[in-house]
């Protein structure tokens, strides 16, 4: 699935990294607990979260993730967006809630990873 398709399916808008929209991603995970994200390395490329602090971007970076989706219409502060821009990570804000957002991506073919 392309990052652009994720944005479309979740009715999301890019906060940064729209230029990476054509990048293909194959798996995702959803969590507000960064240590849980760090505990299960599976080559996931997308992180869905309701957290908006800089450690979300750092966690994604450590995991080599390429896209973060902020659910429930959340928009992180500018410093977080700047950090993601520096790291080359796409940020999307979606009005969907966690359960729906994960369900929509899953049913459209995005999987939890191996």
Nearer to other proteins by Cβ, of 27 and 53: the residue is 53
**Does residue 48 come out as left (phi exceeding 0), alpha (psi in the -120 to 50 range) or beta?**
beta
Q: Which of 8, 19, 55, 88 binds other proteins (CB under 8 A)?
A: 55
The window from 2-10, 22-30, 35-43, 95-103 that contacts other proteins (CB under 8 A) reads 35-43
CA angle 111, 76, 26 (to 5 degrees): 15
User: How many residues of this chain bind other proteins (CB under 8 A)?
Assistant: 21
Question: Is residue 34 within the footprint of other proteins (CB under 8 A)?
Answer: yes
Q: DSSP state, 27? A: B
Q: How far apart are the first and last CA of the chain?
A: 16
Chain residues 66-85 in contact with other proteins, contact rule CB under 8 A: 79
Q: Closer to other proteins at the Cβ: 2 or 41? A: 41
Q: Which tokens sit at 95? A: 């009005």
> Would you say 19 or 62 has its CB closer to other proteins?
62
Tokens of 26: 């194959």
Would you say 66 and 92 are in contact if contact means Cβ atoms under 8 Å apart? no
Binding site for other proteins (CB under 8 A): 32-36, 38-39, 41, 49, 51, 53-56, 58-59, 61-64, 79
């Amino acid at each position: 699935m392309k990052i652009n398709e994720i944005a479309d399916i979740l009715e999301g808008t890019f906060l940064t990294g729209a230029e990476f929209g054509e990048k293909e991603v194959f798996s995702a995970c959803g969590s507000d607990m960064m240590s849980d994200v760090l505990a299960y390395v599976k080559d996931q490329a997308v992180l869905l979260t309701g957290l908006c602090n800089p450690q979300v971007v750092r966690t994604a970076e450590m995991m080599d993730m390429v896209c973060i989706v902020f659910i429930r219409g959340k928009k992180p502060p500018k410093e977080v967006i700047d950090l993601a821009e520096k790291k080359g990570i796409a940020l999307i804000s979606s009005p969907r809630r966690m359960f729906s957002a994960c369900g929509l991506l899953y049913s459209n073919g995005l999987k939890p990873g191996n």
